[in-house]
Structure 1
Amino acid sequence: MESLGVVVNPIAGMGGRVGLKGTDGKLEEARRRGAEPRAPDRAREALQALYRRKPELTVYTAADVMGERAVRDAGYEPVVVYDPATAEESRTTPETAETTAADTRAAVEALLEHGVDLVLFVGGDGTAVDVARVLEEESDDPTPMLGVPAGVKIYSSVFAVTPADAGRIAAEFDRVADREVNDIDEEAYREGEVRTELRAVVPVPVAADVQSSKQVSSGNVDSLAAGFAREIDADRTYVFGPGGTVGAIEQELGIDPSPLGVDVWRDGELLARDAAESEILAVLEGPATIVVSPIGGQGFLFGRGNHQLSPAIIRRADEIEVVASGTKLDGIDALRVDTDDRELDDDLRGWMRVRTGRFTTRLVKVV
């Protein structure tokens, strides 16, 4: 690879920690709740990993927070080929940037005009759809793409597992394979319903650290939920993550769960439902357990769809309980974490015990 195209969606993922489950149509609400950008930092991490391996690379990008800043911070001298401020009025600090899907598509079009060998984008599934749309319109042999995960929803199989992995893969890949771009209806997602749709099939670098598409788990988790409920400690605060397996435990305890949100419960009392990071921290008292289930097909415990469970909350808890049916674990090669905190990720890695039934557990490695 001799040239790279970079495009950053600066608002991707801002709705996660404040409990909005996405930013589509919710940017002002996310800001009102105190959301902070995460995409620029993740772009910088990916590009720094790339620069350590390929400092001579020619990097084309969009202006300011759409890529230029992160590219410069990584050590490259970028070639800016698109500026949203010249297309329409735009505020271009990370805190107030309001670039649109149209800006993403226009930036990718400009990158392709310069013949880049790979489009490295930073965002979530919505950004992936915008990039793929342009690539598919380009030709019958589209330019490869690779995602740096920064959005709340990461259902597509075009993303590296972590930003650093994305930089390494971009520097070292030697072949590509077709992978799926999926997206979901965010309004339905906020109501607890997952409606996925295959939006494109595009070439992606082949590497072990490109994640799989999210799969929905199957199997009866009633015995698992019953076993967990039998061992509840009345003095302990429980932070229940999203998903059907954890939801079954909540129902066993008499809780009406928020299927895709985070609930906090202690000794028969629901302290917070569908809570943002700040709401969770406000009610945590005494010993605390985070209860999570890995994403089927991907294995993520933290960093995909549950950004409310921030590093501060994970560190505040003294216990993490991982629950999953045996069927779900059979489809996962390892557990993964991507918390935005490298030190915490390292601390979480290693063997973790996963409850699979009323009395059964399985050891699975966090990599």
Structure 2
Amino acid sequence: MSAKFRLGLLINPYAGIGGSVALKGSDGADIRHQALAKGAKPQAQLRAEQALQLLLPYKDQLEIFTAAGDMGLALCQSLGLNASAIYHPQQTPTEASDTQAALQRMLDNEIDLLLFAGGDGTARDICAVVEAEPDKAITVLGIPAGCKIHSGVYCVTPAAAGRVVEDLLTGKAVSLMDADVMDIDEQAFREGRVRARRFGEMTIPAELQYVQSVKIGGQESDELVLDDIADHVIEQLEPEDLCLMGSGSTVAAVMERMGVVNTLLGVDVVQDQALLANDQTAEQLLAQVAKHNDPERVKLVITLIGGQGHLFGRGNQQLSPALLKQIKRQNILLVASKAKLSALNGRPLIVDTGDADLNRQLCGTIAVITGYHDKVLYRIASPA
């Protein structure tokens, strides 16, 4: 009988907790406390579960090494996966030091792959340990669970991470490659400035249909194109439309054309080219829609993340599944320059809302506003 696959599993229980309440990050105890006070619910366990569900048919082939409680063991036990807790957190809530200490124990146990759920901060914590132990070669794979996912070590969806591990378990020849670990200055992010920097690299399985690209930084520079896109969007809006304005510089250009203040990395609410509310949380957006006189008149203006193609689930967790289910597909106004679409090199757009049924409903082709009276059709992929 062949040796079992030695899988390390680490979950950052509070990854992404600031997203739905418009805090634009989860780094640090203060932000975590603010998020919990605002009613945010941890989602990392659910994201990890979506990946692990795909591994249940192979549980007899797995030997899982993890940390106690919400860092991994509790989820494995609930799914019926055999797992050993080789690390017990030293504090509650857990901190970055727990992630790093748990990983050190896993390296000592010579795992075949580290599967971890978190965001860019978690990837940085792991990378620091990996780079400090160059003689202990390790392959890693990230389950996206954070507010900001700029790093190339993450899969496009939680299910995609499960598919990659499944490929390894079923004997598929999987190549390896090095991927950048990126992170941004969260304080600058909250002030509308994206300052991304590279912190290192880690080895990942090179399954490019499942692994995301590193996010392209910077803002659109072609002002004429952005003005054309803005003019077209404004022409489509009626005075009675309640407009939810997503994050990103392309949407910001639309609001600038309207003459209203934009939250570059948040979600704003506009009606009849007048600002109703800035930087709304998931619950606040649901309340705005609930009190609107005509649900048929709720529209959403969004753009995609350059280089990655994500529409939902990256940096806009305020657009919750409960909210998106109330917006008609034809009322989603997707805006992007043709240059931004070309940078995807034919890769489809991605939806990762956390709701599998909603993801499937959103798949297919969608019209992208690329200029004044200029649209192209582009494909939204079925999540892996």
Shorter-chain TM-score: which interval? Answer: over 0.9
Is 1:267 the counterpart of 2:262? The answer is: no
1:135 to 130, 135, 158: 130
Is 1:330 the counterpart of 2:339? The answer is: no
2:248 to 215, 220, 243: 243
Query: 1:71 is paired with a residue of what secondary structure?
Result: helix
Is 1:348 the counterpart of 2:362? The answer is: yes
Give the Å deviation of 1:139. 1.5
Q: Which residue of 1 aligns with 2:27?
A: 24
TM-score (norm 1): 0.95
Q: 1:255, 1:317 → 2: CA distance?
A: 23
1:172-251 mapped onto 2 (5 Å cutoff) = 172-173=167-168, 174-207=174-207, 208-216=209-217, 218-220=220-222, 221-251=226-256
Q: 1:54, 1:195 → 2: CA distance?
A: 41
Q: 1:150, 1:190 → 2: CA distance?
A: 19
Q: Which residue of 2 aligns with 1:150?
A: 145
Is 1:299 the counterpart of 2:309? The answer is: yes
Work out the percentage of aligned pairs sharing the same amino acid. 41
Q: Is the 8 A contact 2:233 2:333 kept in 1?
A: no
Is 1:111 the counterpart of 2:96? The answer is: no
Q: 1:54, 1:361 → 2: CA distance?
A: 47
Is 1:3 the counterpart of 2:17? The answer is: no
- The letter for the 1-side match of 2:338 is G
Cα deviation per residue 1:287-343 (whole Å; 9 max; x = unaligned)? Answer: 111111010011000000000000111112221111000000001211100001111
Q: How many residues align?
A: 357
- The letter for the 1-side match of 2:262 is P
Distance change >3 Å, CA 177–CA 54, structure 1 → 2 = farther
Cα deviation per residue 1:222-268 (whole Å; 9 max; x = unaligned)? Answer: 21112212222111110000000000001111111011010011113
Distance change >3 Å, CA 275–CA 169, structure 1 → 2 = same
Q: Is the 8 A contact 1:62 1:81 kept in 2?
A: yes
TM-score (norm 2): 0.90
Q: Which residue of 1 aligns with 2:372?
A: 358
Unmatched tracts of structure 2, length 5 or more: 169-173
Query: 1:61 is paired with a residue of what secondary structure?
Result: strand
Q: Is the 8 A contact 2:244 2:269 kept in 1?
A: yes
Q: 1:198, 1:231 → 2: CA distance?
A: 40
Give the Å deviation of 1:55. 3.8
Over aligned residue pairs, what C-alpha RMSD do you find? 1.3
Give the Å deviation of 1:172. 1.2
- The letter for the 2-side match of 1:274 is D
- The letter for the 2-side match of 1:118 is L
Q: 2:272, 2:146 → 1: CA distance?
A: 34
Q: 2:105, 2:335 → 1: CA distance?
A: 46
- The letter for the 2-side match of 1:185 is D
2:76 to 71, 75, 100: 71
- The letter for the 2-side match of 1:209 is Y
Q: Is the 8 A contact 1:244 1:259 kept in 2?
A: yes
Query: 1:356 is paired with a residue of what secondary structure?
Result: strand
- Off by >3 Å, runs of 4+ in structure 1: 216-219
- The letter for the 2-side match of 1:19 is A
Query: 2:270 is paired with a residue of what secondary structure?
Result: strand
